[in-house]
Chains A and B, each alone.
Chain A
């Protein structure tokens, strides 16, 4: 059984159909990418799956659980993590605290009454936070305020927060946007590590076609709210509908 499955997923905004009958399945351990021109509905699809929007029709199953009607924090607690397209960080907190918040959510669930216990006494949370800081390479910046980080580091912190929720399935919304080539390479390597060492399943939305074709196991192509093509990178590269969607250009990078 697929880890994530959507059936007839439809989202309408007034008269506009942003998603039309999307059926797709993501298997555990694979990396799938979602591509499509601007306005294709990529963000709407992620938002609908992760609970930010509720679908007009259709179902979303994660590991057999119907996600429709669940709140974002409940979906996150099931093991669906998310990193946002724009760095959605906690600017006034330190880098370490940014990650700690997510670690508490991962270790202690959505709510716990522990306001009389010092947080530095939660060793497993501290250990996980240190682990993530090292993985993402932000340990030297751990005690800086998040808002003072350069843009590329903010994006890395964004990914780090997503990781710290300890997800089984991670949605990454354009993780390399605005990164330098070196940072992009680091992120691509990180994605590889997440798949092999952490055993994660990754759902990637990315504009950089080189990355997409390089790392993906399978690619979904969304155009005007409909899935027009799906398949391996080779199949997608030569798919006529995909070329059509990108206005005749085979690549957008």
Chain B
């Protein structure tokens, strides 16, 4: 594959790599992997420190790390909603529980970042198994609402009855320790590494981000990726070709819980803290907004959605005068994007790049979109 690709671009009669070759390359696992590495390498710098660009973004390193972690969360959530078609309004349960499990383990048993993140992930998987047994009996809105109910149940449990363990609204503090006992996560580099990545904590989070992107790419290219989509499209048909829909949904749920749990564990390490607000329903709502805004069912979509969400929450929030209305501005942007582009920002970008190759199609598509926006004579 890669040799062919090179040959094509070398022997091609034009100097440009043809669109067809590009379409083939961009879906290969290697390309996705390298893109995610490049993204991690450049993201914090572009967002927080690059001349001019960072002045527009007004970003900072800490927010870049938060966005990477929440991107993992959104990618895990998207595996369930975008791929399999199951809308959970309670994914905060995995994020919050993993955070607590990581913190409790670090405080009471053993504190090492890698182990702590792993414990958080496993806790989310355990919770995933239990909640899936309840939730996968339910369909559509009942699935969504009962997921929300379970997450809220955990929130109230953590807040009051279990206050001895969770410290309630005060939360748990985790002392910072070295990775594997030797690598200081807060160590700041100088030179190029320092310019791009700043510190070991960013690298630690970045490696997990790349690993999750690689894992999800592989899942999407495996039989599961196809069968998840098949369930999303037509559950009955999927059962009638002989597939055990329940087990595949269970697998999707557990994989999603594990990835979200990983994000929760990383969040505990990153902030040296675990608190009850990570279980709160608004977290579950935020992740839906991020994923849908960015583009359901895609890889880049959830990451872009997370970025835009935190741009509003972390940057627009600080603007003079406008800052107080960041949530309103976000809602307006969300409504506008999803109204016109149901496939989110990523869908919008994809449309634009297609249009760049064929301007006629852009005109036709825009006309059609505008036509779709107008009410079509009491159809519903």
Contact = CB atoms under 8 A, between A and B. Distances in A.
Interface of A: 50, 52, 71-73, 76-77, 82, 84, 88-93, 97, 100-102, 104-106, 108-120, 122, 161, 164-165
Of listed A91, A92, A97, A101, residue having the most chain B CB within 10 A: A101
A14 to B, nearest CB: 23
A71 B242 CA distance: 9
Interface stretch (B44-52, B191-199, B233-241, B266-274): B233-241
B222 to A, nearest CB: 5
Given A101-B227, A115-B219, A115-B222, A92 B233 contact: yes
Contacts of A92: 229, 233
A88 B223 contact: no
B218 interface: yes
B233 A111 contact: no
B223 A114 contact: yes
Nearest to B225: A119
A91 B227 contact: no
B245 A73 contact: yes
Contacts of A108: 223
A82 to B, nearest CB: 5
A90 B239 contact: no
B207 interface: no
Contacts of A109: 242
Interface string B228-253: 01100110111111111101100100
A82 B237 CA distance: 10
Nearest to A120: B221
Nearest to A167: B242
B258 to A, nearest CB: 12
Nearest to A99: B241
Contacts of A117: 222-223
Contact of B241 (A112, A116, A120, A164): A164
A109 B242 CA distance: 7
Contacts of A114: 222-224
Contacts of B243: 73, 101, 104-105, 110-111
Contacts of B224: 114-115
Contacts of B219: 115-116
Nearest to A90: B233
5 contacts: A73-B239, A73-B240, A106-B242, A115-B218, A118-B218
B226 interface: yes
B210 interface: no
A76 B240 contact: yes
The interface size bin for chain B is 20 to 34
A89 B218 CA distance: 25
Of listed A73, A115, A116, residue having the most chain B CB within 10 A: A115
B239 A72 contact: yes
B340 to A, nearest CB: 20
Given A73-B242, A73-B243, A165-B242, A112 B233 contact: no
A84 B240 CA distance: 10
B123 interface: no
B257 to A, nearest CB: 14
B255 interface: yes
A73 B244 contact: yes
Contact of B218 (A100, A116, A120): A116
Given A90-B237, A118-B218, A100 B242 contact: no
B377 to A, nearest CB: 23
Nearest to A104: B223
B222 A165 contact: no
A132 to B, nearest CB: 12
Nearest to B232: A92
A76 B242 CA distance: 5
A119 B221 contact: yes
Of listed B233, B245, B255, residue having the most chain A CB within 10 A: B233
Contact of A77 (B233, B242, B247): B242
Contacts of A52: 236, 240
A71 B236 CA distance: 11
Contact of A115 (B29, B239, B241, B251): B251
Contacts of A105: 241-243
Contacts of B236: 52, 88
Contacts of B229: 90, 92-93, 97
A161 B239 CA distance: 12
Given A91-B233, A92-B229, A116 B239 contact: no
Nearest to A164: B241
A77 B251 CA distance: 20
Contacts of B29: 118
Contacts of B247: 110-111
Contacts of A88: 234, 236-237, 240
Contacts of B226: 93, 97, 100-101, 104, 119
B222 A93 contact: no
Contacts of B238: 101
A65 B245 CA distance: 22
A165 to B, nearest CB: 5
The 6 closest A-B pairs by CB, nearest first: A76-B242, A105-B242, A110-B244, A115-B224, A90-B233, A102-B241
A101 B245 CA distance: 12
Given A102-B241, A119-B221, 10 more contacts: A84-B237, A90-B234, A106-B242, A110-B243, A111-B244, A115-B218, A115-B219, A115-B255, A116-B218, A118-B218
A101 B223 CA distance: 8
A32 B236 CA distance: 25
Contacts of B222: 114-119
B225 A101 contact: no
B301 to A, nearest CB: 15
Contacts of A91: 233-234
